[in-house]
Structure 1
Amino acid sequence: MILGSLKFLRLNFSLTAIDKIFIPKNLKGNIFRGAFGLNFKKLYCQSKEICIDRCMDSNCLYKRIFEPSLPADIAPSGLKNIPRPFIFTHTYEEREIIYPGESFNIGINIFGWAVEHYNEFIKTIEEIGKEGIGPLRGKFLLRNVYSMDGENNKKIIYDKNGMIKNPVSFGFTNNFKPVSTQFKIIFNTPTKIIYDAKPIYNPDFYHIFSRLRDRISSISYFHNNTDLEENYRALEEDSMNVKTLTSRWNFVEVRRRSSRTKQLQDLSGIVGYGIYDFLTLDRAEMFYPWIKIGELVNVGKNSVWGMGEIRSDFNLDLKRRNINLC
């Protein structure tokens, strides 16, 4: 299974506020992404003296992670930018104010070649804690970091003494044998699905799959050196045979101002769920890996900020859950 060659690392950072920290609603991922980019560049950019706006050194670790660019001889159809080899997770936060002594967390999923640089990711989060984050520049302490494998087994790789142990990276193993054709997809954070150049607010499965297909295949090609060699046209046609049973989507408006360009950016999207029916067990087994890998890489626009966080449930008992499909 070619999808199984993809390499992932899931990190969770346990933090304790030293100062009062203000995190505007739905902008936790954006705030960490901005601070992370600035501090990663400060620590690891090899060409700071020439990098006024964008990094010019193609071998620089900062550029490869934060500003990857398409090779001149490669122009995949419709692809404008290479996806970054990481996303922020655990970006949903009920609290807007985190008081001194209170705990919170942030996660990072890393893909492909970038998993070997986990140490730089950890050191950068530690540096952010010293510099402060959010509008109040509140400082925090990095208590520990643990990695999780594909079965959610945890391993502490960093503690308050600064000890770093080898984390557990993993590939996707598909031992799934469906017993039902029905499944549920949940968007936990605002998700922007674009199809035929238009935003989709009530997605059928093929809308979601088309964006998963593009994102996963690009991550595989550019960051895992693997061409998935899938028959994408046949997959897309088959995804259109998946039936929508019911759904409940809500539009959430989110905007942020870029610290670099000062322009207002729209991060709005839908949250909620859709319940679908593959109609055949073979189709369920075929699409399952794409959906589960989507849980590791997110889907739609602004994924690196933690937008487009997707979860799934393949163990639906619709009668027991009293879901009205009428």
Structure 2
Amino acid sequence: MYINTASFRFNLMPLESLILPSYKGSTLRGGFGYAFKKVVCALKDKECSECLLKEKCIYSYIFETPPPSDTKIMRKYPSAPHPFIIEPPSEKRHGYSPGTELGFGLILIGKAIDYLPYFIFTFDELGRIGIGKGKAKYELKNVICDGKKIYDSETKTLKPSSLSNLKSYFLNLESEDLNRMHSKINLLTINFLTPTRILYNGHLTLDLEFHILIRNLLRRLSLLSYFHCGGDPSEVVFKKIIELAKNVSVKERHLKWYDWERYSTRQDARMKMGGFVGEITFKGNFEPFMQIIEAGEVLHVGKGTAFGLGKYEIREIL
């Protein structure tokens, strides 16, 4: 099972006083969705679920992400995981004066990497539409990849080398010998940086256990691999991995619930999007799981990842 990703940094320059909420992921993702549909949608008066073009439409693939009609897995779900992650700035500030730079990260996954020009064009267009309170205008100043400027507002051109920024994860999860893997690592601390919404038995959980984390990561990574990277997760020994994960215990838990809301234009309602943040330390044998956890460190975990939710970092390995 493998997953390809590419990471970019978008730098915006407000042209007017810009007011944003503390957590900016919703504003950026919501604005992107609105502008993206305006830019690429051929039948704007149609819902994606009813549209004849939905399986060949760029907007539908990126933002609605329907599974192919002939899919062998995930048939009961109306949509596949989105092939992009917007990572908003961690700063809590609300106000940005004209000329003050605002940057955010963008991670593209699999086939979506080829659509980088659409993301750049859309965020440039969104600057003319405006975001935040009062719809303040901004300029997309530049896009950075691996420390190099691949797009800037002066030339309005994208360097061809930008599409070669690939990072691949090859996850060896097919072996029945996973239970033979042992390492010197027996303590692992994970710090959840953005609200993390992990479901277990149909409910959001705060009492995180290691096997619950691994279940969610396995599901997300396997679906991203299958739908967006041409991978085949059918040989992954899910049950074996989860059984091994149950042997890992919680040593310390310092998680707290972080509540926030977003306004959904499509549903015309405010939606609660709370999740847990903070640190948790696990104790056990981590060798069978490190490749999963390290991939999740880039690709996030749980619900709402397109907003930047579910971002974590590995703090300590002992």
- TM-score, normalised via structure 1 length: 0.86
Q: Which residue of 1 aligns with 2:105?
A: 107
Question: Would the aligned equivalents of 1:91 and 1:306 in 2 still touch at CA under 8 Å?
Answer: no
Q: Which residue of 1 aligns with 2:214?
A: 209
Equivalent residue for 2:148, pick from 139, 152, 155? 155
- Provide Cα deviations, 1:31-73, integer angstroms capped at 9, x if missing partner: 111110111111122333x525657112111111111223344
Which structure 1 residue ranges, 5 or more long, are not aligned? 149-153, 317-326
Distance 1:91 1:211 in 2: 25
Q: Which residue of 2 aligns with 1:199?
A: 204
Q: Which amino acid aligns with 2:35?
A: N
Question: Would the aligned equivalents of 1:11 and 1:145 in 2 still touch at CA under 8 Å?
Answer: yes
- Provide Cα deviations, 1:117-153, integer angstroms capped at 9, x if missing partner: 11111111111112210122111122211124xxxxx
Q: Which residue of 2 aligns with 1:70?
A: 67
Q: Secondary structure at the match of 2:194?
A: strand
Q: Which residue of 2 aligns with 1:238?
A: 244
Distance 1:39 1:76 in 2: 29
Question: Would the aligned equivalents of 2:18 and 2:96 in 1 still touch at CA under 8 Å?
Answer: yes
Q: Which residue of 2 aligns with 1:151?
A: none
User: How many corresponding residue pairs?
Assistant: 300
Question: Would the aligned equivalents of 2:10 and 2:140 in 1 still touch at CA under 8 Å?
Answer: yes
Structure 1 residue 51 and structure 2 residue 46: aligned?
A: yes
Q: Which residue of 2 aligns with 1:189?
A: 194
Question: Would the aligned equivalents of 2:215 and 2:242 in 1 still touch at CA under 8 Å?
Answer: yes
Q: Which residue of 1 aligns with 2:225?
A: 220
Q: 1:217 to 1:136 in 2, by over 3 A?
A: same
Distance 1:54 1:24 in 2: 31
Q: Which amino acid aligns with 2:60?
A: K
Question: Would the aligned equivalents of 2:66 and 2:78 in 1 still touch at CA under 8 Å?
Answer: no
Distance 1:46 1:77 in 2: 27
Distance 2:193 2:268 in 1: 28
Q: Which residue of 2 aligns with 1:265?
A: 271
Question: Would the aligned equivalents of 1:89 and 1:106 in 2 still touch at CA under 8 Å?
Answer: yes
Q: CA deviation at 1:285?
A: 2.8
Q: 1:9-158 maps to which residues of 2 (within 5 A)?
A: 9-26=6-23, 28-48=24-44, 50-51=45-46, 56=51, 57=53, 58-74=55-71, 75-76=73-74, 79-148=77-146, 154-158=147-151
Q: 1:52 to 1:195 in 2, by over 3 A?
A: closer
Which structure 2 residue ranges, 5 or more long, are not aligned? 172-181
- Provide Cα deviations, 1:144-167, integer angstroms capped at 9, x if missing partner: 11124xxxxx33211232231222
Distance 1:160 1:43 in 2: 19
- Provide Cα deviations, 1:13-48, integer angstroms capped at 9, x if missing partner: 11221111111122x111111110111111122333
Q: Which amino acid aligns with 1:46?
A: A
Distance 1:250 1:22 in 2: 27
Q: Secondary structure at the match of 2:289?
A: helix
Question: Would the aligned equivalents of 1:55 and 1:63 in 2 still touch at CA under 8 Å?
Answer: no
Question: Would the aligned equivalents of 2:48 and 2:64 in 1 still touch at CA under 8 Å?
Answer: no
Q: Which residue of 2 aligns with 1:322?
A: none
Distance 2:48 2:60 in 1: 12
Distance 1:117 1:51 in 2: 23
Equivalent residue for 1:164, pick from 140, 148, 158? 158
When the two chains are superposed, the root-mean-square deviation of aligned CA atoms in Å is 2.1
Q: Which amino acid aligns with 1:268?
A: G
Runs of 4+ in structure 1 over 3 Å off: 52-55, 71-75, 77-80
Identity value in percent: 29
Distance 1:20 1:54 in 2: 38
Q: Secondary structure at the match of 2:247?
A: coil
- TM-score, normalised via structure 2 length: 0.88
Distance 2:209 2:16 in 1: 45
